């Protein structure tokens, strides 16, 4: 248990929060499969429910405050940055998988890498931070980890989001895309080339007049190569 708690503390540190109520941290990382095997353990389902609401509120407030978007556009942006694929990717980057408290069966079946379990645990962590330190602190943490995705989608809410679609497709197999972008040319005519790498293999390349546009083109071509009709 001590080793598991050390791992949990590492996740909290990566998230950017030191818990005063350490039991909230443990609960947030406890999957229902462990609760089923050990009835005394409380699963993270209630914290996940709370965290989902808190995350949605922070993102909606940021969109309303900083961006001149219609209701429909705000809905599209929010949906694209709080979906399972995005949550699972952030959770994986924080090391959540290694800190999960799973039942033996779920652990043996690869539960630490399942996108839904990772996404649910991250929402539970957000709920735990909210209960531990309040809205101001949880807002800071959410924006620290989501601001890039929010800005990316809010700048072009009507465009097809191939990056998110690619992330969703790859999440089904436990993979995540990595992007490398190189710029060239003078500042007034700068162009960019993006490369998408998955599990060490290049699956798509694309160019554009901005880093974001080049990444979107590369993601679209990666989807085509993978046989997705998005």
Over residues 178-187, the pLDDT tens digits come to 999 998 888 7
Q: Which tokens in the block code for residue 20?
A: 């005063």
Domain 2-154 has CATH 3.30.470.10: no
| Catalytic residue set | 52, 123
Q: State the alpha helices, DSSP H only, in the chain.
A: 2-15, 22-28, 32-37, 45-66, 71-81, 84-93, 96-99, 104-108, 115-133, 135-154, 162-171, 211-225
The better pLDDT of the pair 205, 175 is held by 205
Listed by start position, the domains of the chain span 2-154, 162-225
CATH fold of 162-225: Double Stranded RNA Binding Domain (3.30.160)
Block residue for tokens 């700048």: 155
pLDDT of residue 175: 85
Q: What is the maximal distance between C-alpha atoms in the chain?
A: 64
Q: Which two tokens stand for residue 32?
A: 């229902």
**pTM passes above 0.85:** no
pLDDT at position 1 = 46
Asked if the model's pLDDT at residue 3 lies above 60, the reply is: no
Q: 70 — alpha (psi -120 to 50), left (phi > 0) or beta?
A: beta
What is the rounded CA–CA span in Å between residue 137 and residue 129? Answer: 8
> Region 124-152: what's the mean pLDDT?
93
Could you give the percent of the chain with pLDDT greater than 90? 50
Task: Dig out the tokens for 137 from the structure.
Answer: 């602190």
Say if 2-154 and 162-225 have the same CATH topology: no
Tokens of 40: 């005394």
For range 142-166, the mean pLDDT = 81
Among 106, 79, 87, 55, which residue's Cα sits nearest to residue 171?
87
Contacts of 36 (CB under 8 A, 6+ apart): 103
Separation of first and last alpha carbons in the chain:
45
CB 153 within 8 A of CB 212: no
Cα–Cα dist 3/94, whole Å: 17
Q: 3-class SS at 179?
A: strand
73: exposed, middle or buried (C-beta count within 10 Å: 0-12, 13-18, 19+)?
A: middle
Q: How many C-beta atoms surround the C-beta of residue 105 within 10 A?
A: 11
Tell me: pLDDT of 2 over 50: no
């Amino acid at each position: 248990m001590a080793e598991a708690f050390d791992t949990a503390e590492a996740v909290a540190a990566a998230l950017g929060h030191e818990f005063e109520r350490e039991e909230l941290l443990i609960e947030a990382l406890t999957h229902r499969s462990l609760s089923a095997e050990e009835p005394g353990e409380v699963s993270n389902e209630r914290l996940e429910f709370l965290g989902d609401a808190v995350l949605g509120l922070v993102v909606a407030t940021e969109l309303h405050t900083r961006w001149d978007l219609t209701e429909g556009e705000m809905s599209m942006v929010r949906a694209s940055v709080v979906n399972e694929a995005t949550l699972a990717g952030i959770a994986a980057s924080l090391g959540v998988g290694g800190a999960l408290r799973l039942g033996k069966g779920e652990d043996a079946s690869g539960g630490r890498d399942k996108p839904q379990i990772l996404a649910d645990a991250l929402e539970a962590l957000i709920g735990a931070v909210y209960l531990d330190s309040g809205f101001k602190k949880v807002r800071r943490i959410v924006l620290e980890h989501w601001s890039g995705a929010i800005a990316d989608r809010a700048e072009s809410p009507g465009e097809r989001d191939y990056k998110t679609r690619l992330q969703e497709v790859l999440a089904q197999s436990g993979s995540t895309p990595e992007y490398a972008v190189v710029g060239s040319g003078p500042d007034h005519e700068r162009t960019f080339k993006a490369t998408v790498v998955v599990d060490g293999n290049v699956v798509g390349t694309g160019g554009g007049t901005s880093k974001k546009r080049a990444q979107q083109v590369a993601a679209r071509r990666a989807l085509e190569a993978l046989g997705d009709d998005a």
